[in-house]
Amino acid sequence: MKLCFDATRFGCGLDGAVELASHRGISSIEYSFAPFAPPGRSSAKGNASKKAAKGEEEERHYLEQVKGVAQSAGVDFAIINLDYAFDVNDKKAHKHFLAMLSKLSQVAAALACPRLGVSLLPGADFVSSFTAFYQSLKDDAAIEQELVLRLITPAPLRGLSLAKWRQLEPQEWRDLLAACPGLSLAYSPADALWLGLDYLQNMSSFVQAISHVVACDVEINRSMLNDSGLFGPLWWRYRLAGKGQVDFKQVIELLKLHDFQGAFSMHFEDEFLSSEDSLQHLEALDESVKFFTPLLKY
């Protein structure tokens, strides 16, 4: 098991993420990309074409530099995520999703990152629809990396009540894993907790399929939940590890028991962290490293 951190919220880019990890003795990095418009094959000629080619060359050079610095520092990229809730039943979304995934696969390959994390929206018969989509990815060799199903709330849906959406359920995880060989899970004990699951028992059931663990905490407002119910105003929120209700000591002991070899990734989605205060985020990172390092020791 290797200590990892989600570098996305630090606003420092991939190179800055490597520097942060190196200076704090963290061996692995998680990084997420917001939805974007992938560059298409340009039909432009002359200067426009040269400009596009120059941009691609600069990107390749940058990624090569990041990879080289990371390897020299003993740091790797555990997973690259796409912060996009894919509705597989929306046929119009397929082309855009595939284009984004293909672009991130190129980035991941340049960084020697073995996994891509994706989020799915459940819907009518979505398991069989995604299975067909997943099989087409394999048949066409559209991506090189292992695809990882993220069981943390998709970023675009955070802050919305469950009247607007729903999370995937454990039986749907099972169905997807059975139908999509090679698919693995990015497991979040915090999300399992607010879903009403016994996260230790549930995690033990799926541990062989888990390649990545999301280490954020959760705080449940029981008064609000009792007053308004599951579909009322948002009654749970993410917190820094140790400030919520997840027993991470037990989580880590369970992972050790099963000889978990994946990444254990610290997240910083706590709403009490100002998005504009970089120093506050650095303090949270140091606090999280201090919290988890002794627990991860064998």
pLDDT of residue 140: 86
Domains and CATH numbers, the chain: 2-296 (3.20.20.150)
Euclidean distance between the first and the last CA atom of the chain, given in angstroms as a whole number: 10
**What is the per-residue pLDDT across 235-261, written as a single tens digit (0 to 9) for each?**
999 999 999 999 999 999 999 999 999
CA distance 245 to 160: 21
pLDDT of residue 48: 64
As a whole number, the mean pLDDT across the chain is 93
pLDDT of residue 272: 87
3-state secondary structure of 114: coil
**What is the per-residue pLDDT across 5-57, written as a single tens digit (0 to 9) for each?**
999 989 889 999 999 999 999 999 999 999 999 876 555 556 666 777 777 89
Mutual angle of helices 91-110 and 47-73, in 10-degree steps: 60
As a whole number of Å, the CA-based R_g of the chain is 20
**What is the per-residue pLDDT across 177-217, written as a single tens digit (0 to 9) for each?**
999 999 999 999 999 999 999 999 999 999 999 999 999 99
3-state secondary structure of 32: strand
Single-letter residue type at 132: A
Q: Using the predicted structure, report yes or no on whether residue 133 has a pLDDT greater than 70.
A: yes
More confident residue, 48 or 233: 233
Least confident span in 103-112, 115-124, 145-154, 267-276: 267-276
